[in-house]
Structure 1
């Protein structure tokens, strides 16, 4: 499997470093978000997948969702790397034990959300 990162032309890598004092937290936060696609539910009675409205998805819909979920996990790895490359060393050391980018992101948010009001006033 090729583990090389994509070219730095990708907009994912055009994110500025998070300032130690959090002055760019608001814009940094908006640039780094990723949302996981919601999988279909499994109906244990019918032993089939179903959509939120209770109907059975087509094979194409299942394949499309599987592809989106696979893409999410690939991007999740890139998001983790992006966060690690744009935060300060002290923050990296405090979150490096977390394995999933979502958990890393929650921790970064918890640390910086309290600073947001002061930064907005300064701006």
Structure 2
């Protein structure tokens, strides 16, 4: 068995599904997919797709912070799942504002549906070295 550690934090939404919020394997952290859920209320946040994208990235940053990382600064790869590619430009605006001048590698795909019928979900890989 490999040397991995599941990550759990109150700073990101938790659930009763069979997966970890993140898994650390050496200097690499794999962050599970998050929708725009407020970890304090466990409810999808109100707001437009920009605000929802910001919430998702805050959730990812909280998991990275939990292992002593530097939030989004340590993220090297993101996958964006959208239920409507018409949201692509607005998501890019929020994403770009959160990551700044040196954004990570990224993939963006349109999917037919996401849990809780949210419009956006992201997962991430962070390097903690």
TM-score clears 0.5: no
- More strand by proportion, 1 or 2? 2
TM-score by length of 1: 0.32
